[in-house]
Amino acid sequence: MAESKKKKTENAVSEEMDTSAKAPAREEIYDVVTEMLSELLNMEKSEFSEETMIFEELPLDSLQLYELVVDLEERFDLHISDEAIEKIRSIGDVVDMIHDAANN
């Protein structure tokens, strides 16, 4: 059930990305980020918001943060610098980081 839900979301995201050569929209990035966090932390997507503080409010350790970063790099085909990772505080920051990296 969870696996099919994951596949469905992945397909939806990749289809959206394939049909557009432009950088991904912010909403699309938010959707992928929260989907990945949901998988990593075994939480519902509805439990997240742009304002959710990554380290204070989520049980995310440093390895899981890097898992998120490595998976986002793979998904959006971009490079994320260590400096950018160090600025992350909220989920909104993660979305901004990907949005900025995809547009530069």
Neighbouring CB atoms inside 10 A of 32's CB total 23
Active site residue 71: no
22 touching other proteins, by CB under 8 A? no
66 touching other proteins, by CB under 8 A? yes
Tokens of 61: 């350790």
What's the closest the beta carbon of residue 41 comes to other proteins, in angstroms?
Answer: 16
For other proteins, the closer of residues 16 and 73 by Cβ is: 73
Closest CA to 69 of 85, 57, 83: 85
Length of the chain: 104
Q: Which of 19, 51, 74, 104 binds other proteins (CB under 8 A)?
A: 74
Please give the radius of gyration of the chain, using alpha carbons only, rounded to the nearest integer.
13
Note the residues at the interface with other proteins (CB under 8 A).
62-63, 66-67, 69-71, 73-74, 79, 82, 86
